[in-house]
Structure 1
C-alpha cells in the first residue's frame, strides 16, 4: 500500500531560482561527443515556474509504500499536489479514505468510482462504499537519486 506524508505548502510567491538549462534532449543511449556546455550558455529554467502552476493551492507530499510503482511513483518520491485542478476519473489523486491520506488512480467503471493501485496485490477501493474525499490532483512526481 502507498501512503503519503505532508511535507509542506508551496509559497504563494516562490522565489525565482533560475538554473542553467541545456536546450538539447539527453539520450539514454550513445549520444556522441559534443561538449556538455555547448548549448546551454545563456539559457535557464525556473523549476517553480515549470512545476507549480497554482502556488497557493500546491502542496508537497512524500510517498511511502509500493502500490503505485506501475505509475512511476516510488517510496521516497515527492509529489506536487494541486488542489486548484478539478479532479476527474483518470487522474492520479491524493484521497482521504476513512480519515487516511493515500495516493491512487481514480477510475470509473460504469456507476462505480474506484481508487486503484498500480499493483494487483492491492484491491481497488470502491468510493461508493467507503467514506472518501478527493483531496487534490497529483501534478508531478520527483525523485532524488542517491549520490
Structure 2
C-alpha cells in the first residue's frame, strides 16, 4: 500500500461506525434484532439507501425513499409506519448502512439481546 492510499484509507476509517440493531423494523431488508451494522458517514445518501437517521432525537435505521418529491424514512416491516419529518424538511441522515453482520446466535437468543419494539441502535462506536 502506498503512503497516499494508506492515508486515504485511514481518513475513510474515521467515518466508519459500528451500531447494533435493536428491533425488527428492518427485518424485510435482512437486518435483524442484534445485528451489527457498519455505518459510513462519508457517503452522500440517495433514495434506496438504508440509513441511520435522526428521528425524534434518536438514531433509527430506515430506508430512504422519495415519493412524489417528498423524502421519507421507510421501515422494512409493514407493522411500522413511514416517517416524514414535520414541516416538509428533509430527514437528518447521520450515515449510510453499508454492511450487516449477523451474530452467530439462534433467533430466540437474538430476541433477548435488545427490545423487539424499537429500531433504535443500542451501540455506537468507531469502527477503527
Does the pair score TM above 0.5? yes
The aligned counterpart of 1:143 is 102
Q: Which has the higher helix share?
A: 2
Are 2:31 and 1:68 equivalent residues in the alignment? Answer: no
The aligned counterpart of 1:126 is 84
CA distance in 2, matches of 1:64, 1:138: 14
How many residues of Structure 1 are paired with residues of Structure 2 in the alignment? 98
The aligned counterpart of 1:99 is 57
Equivalences for residues 45-64 of structure 1 within 5 A: 54-64=12-22
Q: CA deviation at 1:135?
A: 0.2
- Give structure 1 stretches of 5+ with no counterpart: 1-12, 14-48
What TM-score comes out, normalization by structure 1 length?
0.60
Q: CA deviation at 1:120?
A: 1.2
Q: What SS is found at the alignment partner of 2:21?
A: strand
The aligned counterpart of 1:7 is none
CA distance in 2, matches of 1:146, 1:130: 41
Bigger relative contact order, structure 1 or 2 (CA pairs below 8 A, ≥6 apart): 2
What TM-score comes out, normalization by structure 2 length?
0.69
Q: CA deviation at 1:98?
A: 2.0
Q: Which has the higher strand share?
A: 1
The aligned counterpart of 1:3 is none
Q: Where do 4+ consecutive residues of structure 1 move more than 3 Å?
A: 127-132
Equivalent residues of 2:70, 2:88 under 8 A apart: no
Equivalent residues of 1:63, 1:77 under 8 A apart: yes
Q: CA deviation at 1:129?
A: 4.2
> CA deviation digits over 1:10-29, x for unaligned, max 9?
xxx9xxxxxxxxxxxxxxxx
Equivalent residues of 1:113, 1:128 under 8 A apart: no
Q: CA deviation at 1:111?
A: 1.9
Q: CA deviation at 1:125?
A: 0.3
